[in-house]
Amino acid sequence: MRVIFHDILNIMPLGQARQVESLEALLSEADFVTLHVPESPETLNMISVDELACMKRGAYLINNARGKVVDIPALIDALQSKRLAGAALDVYPAEPGSNGAPFDDSVNKWSTTLRQLPNVILTPHIGGSTEEAQRMIGEEVSTSLTRYLNYGSSLGAVNFPEVDLRAITAEEGEHVRVCHVHNNVPGVLRQVNELLSPYNVEKQYSDSKGDIAYLMADIANVSPQDVNKLQSLISHTSANILTRLLV
């Protein structure tokens, strides 16, 4: 198999895979197109009328990424006109809400037409609902919560800023990690950094998501007497939501 791929970033290929310059170049060359993207404003209907027209006649489309990445009515037209040889989907813009609920036109107005096409494979979007997946999800969630409680890391958060710093080692000596959740408003970093100015800031990282922002900073040479005082000072800043100091 000859593998080509397109990404918005230049990334190192694996094996003999080759990166192409544009999505259009990939669509015009690939016999099978698979999608591996998140749902975002940039990926909404990223495969629609124009993109399907770029695909090789007789090609196949596989989407197990996100349901809104593909314009399904446009895909139906491409399949009915025989431009595409077939498609396989296990994600949809709207999906049944429970076990046993029908997948019909009450869910998506084109569901019946899509189900009747002979050159389509449709599978339910339940990969995360198997016993094995649920066990792995439980392990991942508990590990993430432990990392947040012990180290302040929020990597993998969905509705919260993703912030992480490497763990403090014993060789680095006396350090305190500041974990400051605050409203995403101007001037917060200036306020906090003024309070941290008496200390040596070893590492600092901040990110925001919507109205919430999260700052982590590792500072050195903080005496035990200063820990509670510093936490109180940061907690009383105007935008504070939650401040923790990890010693």
According to CATH, the topology of domain 4-125 is Rossmann fold (3.40.50)
- CA angle, 135 then 141 then 142, to 5°: 90
Write down the residue that tokens 């076990």 correspond to. Answer: 99
Amino acid (one-letter) located at 23? L
pLDDT of residue 15: 86
- Name every residue whose Cβ is closer than 8 Å to that of residue 117 and which is 6 or more positions away in sequence: 76, 79, 80
Catalytic status, residue 66: yes
CATH number 3.30.70.260 given to 132-246: yes
58-60-63 Cα angle (round to 5): 160
- Please indicate, yes or no, whether the overall pTM of this predicted structure exceeds 0.85: no
* Tokens (6 digits) for 219: 């500072």
Query: Between 224-235 and 188-196, two packed helices, what is the crossing angle to 10 degrees?
Result: 160
Per-residue pLDDT at 110: 95
At 169, list the tokens. 């080692």
- Asked about 95 being catalytic, the answer comes back as yes
Within 10 angstroms of residue 58's Cβ, the number of other Cβ atoms is 11
- List, by residue range, all CATH 3.40.50.720 domains of the chain: 4-125
> pLDDT (tens digit, 0 to 9) for every residue of the chain, 247 residues total?
899 999 988 888 888 899 999 999 999 999 999 999 989 889 999 999 999 999 999 999 999 999 999 999 999 999 999 999 999 999 999 998 877 888 899 999 999 999 999 999 999 888 777 889 899 999 999 999 999 999 999 998 889 999 999 876 655 557 899 999 999 999 999 999 999 999 999 999 999 999 999 999 999 888 888 899 999 999 999 999 999 999 8
Determine the Cα–Cα distance for residues 193 and 233; give it in Å rounded to an integer.
Answer: 12
Options 24, 29, 39, 95, the catalytic residue: 95
Q: Nearest to residue 220, comparing CAs of 169, 150, 153?
A: 169
**Among 149, 171, 153, 150, residue whose Cα is nearest residue 162:** 153
Number of Cα atoms under 13 Å in the Cβ half of residue 192: 28
The single residue of 51, 66, 175, 180 carrying the catalytic annotation is 66
Both tokens of 44, joined, read 């909404």
Is 125 one of the catalytic residues?
yes
H/E stretch holding 120: strand 120-122
Catalytic residue among 24, 29, 39, 125: 125
Give span(s): CATH 3.30.70.260, the chain. 132-246
pLDDT of 171 reads: 59
The region that residue 210 occupies, defined by phi over 0 for left and psi between -120 and 50 for alpha, beta otherwise, is left
**C-beta separation of 19 from 4 below 8 A:** yes
Q: Classify burial at 223, counting beta carbons within 10 Å of its beta carbon; exposed 0-12, middle 13-18, buried 19 or more.
A: exposed
Closest of 53, 117, 49 to residue 79, by C-alpha: 117
The sign one gets for the Cα dihedral 99, 102, 106, 110 is positive
**Would you call 176 helix, strand, or coil by DSSP?**
strand
